[in-house]
Amino acid sequence: MYEKIFKIQQEIGKMVKDQPGVYNNKYFDINKLLDKLMPLCHKNKLVLMQPLTTIDNRPALTTIIYDLECEDEKKNMILFSVPLPEVETAQKMGGAITYVRRYSIQSLFGLIAEDDDGQAASQSKPKPKVKEVELEL
């Protein structure tokens, strides 16, 4: 299975963060990610599933990568579960689910994402120019 994930990593390229976020940040859209990823998974006979589950009676999201060609039950699946936060509305829960889905996929497939936040923070800001003025006495 790891060889198949390696092939996908080589083909998919960098995920571009082009969707505006709430806090002046950017993120990559999950639908664009899935549009690029799913054909590569199908080509490599991998199934990606993300069912809602529970961890200690709390809502969670589990991401599963299943290899259709591997007959060894101990090696045919990668599974990763993340508890979801407690939120007040269905809209916020939907946002949390989408966030966990996106970053779970990115993590499990080892996908590269453009780091706009880190890049902006690491770049030094230009110093303001100081105009020198001669004073006459």
By DSSP bridging, strand 46-49 and strand 26-27 are: unpaired
Residue by residue, DSSP assigns 5-67 as: HHHHHHHH-PBP--EE-TTS-EE--HHHHHHHHHHHHHHTTEEEE--EEEETTEEEEEEEEEE
Give tens-digit pLDDT for 51-63: 999 999 999 999 9
Does residue 35 fall inside a structural domain?
Answer: yes
How would you label 58-97 residue by residue, b for 16+ Cβ within 10 Å and e otherwise? Answer: ebbbbbbbbbeeeeeeeeeebeeebebeeeeeeeebeebb
pTM: 0.71
Q: What confidence category does residue 20 fall into, taking pLDDT thresholds of 50, 70 and 90?
A: low
Mean predicted confidence (pLDDT) in 67-82:
88
Q: What's the whole-number mean pLDDT along residues 15-34?
A: 69
The verdict on residue 133 lying in a domain is no
Report how many domains make up the chain.
Answer: 1
Query: Is 79 within 8 Å of 63 (Cβ atoms)?
Result: yes
In a domain, 125, yes or no: no
pLDDT of the residue at 32: 84
Establish if 128 belongs to a structural domain: no
C-alpha count within 13 angstroms, C-beta hemisphere, residue 22: 3
Residue 23 lies in a domain: yes
Q: Which domain holds residue 12?
A: 2-114
| Structure token pair of residue 75 | 């090696």
Give the residue with greater pLDDT, 122 vs 24: 24
Q: How confident is the model at residue 75 (pLDDT cuts 50, 70, 90)?
A: confident
